[in-house]
Amino acid sequence: MKKIMVLHGINLNMFGRRDPAQYGSTTLKEIDEELEKLAAELGVSIECYQTNHEGEMVEKVHQIHEEEVDAVVINAGAWTHYSYGLMDAMAILKVPVIEVHMSQVHSREEFRHFSIFSNIAKGQISGFGVRSYLLGLRVAVDIIMENGKEHS
Ligand code: DQA
Q: Which pTM was predicted?
A: 0.96
| CATH number assigned to the domain comprising residue 57 | 3.40.50.9100
CA of residue 75 to ligand 1 center, whole Å? 7
Torsion of Cα atoms, 24 then 27 then 30 then 31, to 10°: 70
**Over residues 143-152, mean pLDDT:** 82
pLDDT digits 0-9 by tens, 75-94: 999 999 999 999 999 999 99
Indicate whether residue 89 lines ligand 1 (CB < 6 A). no
Number of domains in the chain: 1
Residue 101 appears among annotated catalytic residues = yes
> Is the C-beta atom of 7 inside 6 A of ligand 1?
no
User: 46: domain range?
Assistant: 3-151
Residue 137 makes CB contacts below 8 A (sequence gap 6+) with 4, 6, 35, 38, 39, 42, 46, 73
CA-to-CA distance for 139 and 83, rounded, in angstroms?
25
Which pLDDT tens digit goes with each residue over 20-47?
A: 989 999 999 999 999 999 999 999 999 9
